[in-house]
Amino acid sequence: MHPPSIPELRRLKIVARCAVAFVWLYEGLVPKLLCVSPFQIDMVRNSGWWWGSPDATLHGLGAAMIIASIVLFGGWFEKLGQLVATVSVLVLMVLVIRNHPPALYDPFGGLAKDACLFACSWVVWRLSGRC
């Protein structure tokens, strides 16, 4: 085994960054704009963290996530983007678990996906500015 080259590290960083960006794009577009479920609207309502209406908040969150995904895909503000993405996921995770504790053991829940997002964000953070 040889140590990874700068081009290999750059590709790794881009793949990790695009993985995070894809999740933000998908999660913003599909469940928050295209296929909104009554369950999600109820979770927003029960959280107490909504403005205007739970529906409007969910749509606004979806639009914000899509914008964030574009920034992440583009690699602009690379470290700041990963920091904001990680903190946002942590906040959303706490809100979801607080309002729906079964999300902790739901096989279709986002806990495992969120752990992968944290790992990818860490890779981007560590390699940002180095390659």
Q: What is the pLDDT of residues 77-118, one digit of tens each?
A: 999 999 999 999 999 888 888 888 888 888 877 788 899 999
Tell me which of 15 and 110 has the higher pLDDT: 15
pLDDT confidence of residue 120: 97
pLDDT over 90 (residue 38): yes
Closest by alpha carbon to 57, among 92, 25, 89? 92
Per residue in 56-80, pLDDT (tens digit) is 999 999 999 999 999 999 999 999 9
**What's the total number of domains in the chain?**
1
Amino acid at 71: V
Residue 16 within a domain? yes
- The answer as to whether 28 is a domain residue is yes
* Structural domain contains residue 48: yes
Confidence of residue 2 (pLDDT cuts 50, 70, 90): confident
pTM, rounded to two decimals: 0.90
Domain-located, residue 122: yes
pLDDT of residue 74: 96
Q: What is the average pLDDT value for the chain, to the nearest integer?
A: 92
Count of alpha carbons within 13 Å of 20, Cβ hemisphere only? Answer: 31
Joined together, the tokens standing for residue 106 give 């739901």
Q: Is the dihedral of CA 64, 52, 92, 114 positive or negative?
A: negative
Least confidently predicted of 14-28, 35-49, 98-112: 98-112
68 contact partners, CB below 8 Å, separation of at least 6: 24, 28, 81, 84, 85, 88
Task: Flag whether pLDDT at 55 surpasses 80.
Answer: yes
Asked whether residue 1 is domain-assigned, the answer is no
Cβ atoms of 128 and 13 closer than 8 Å: yes
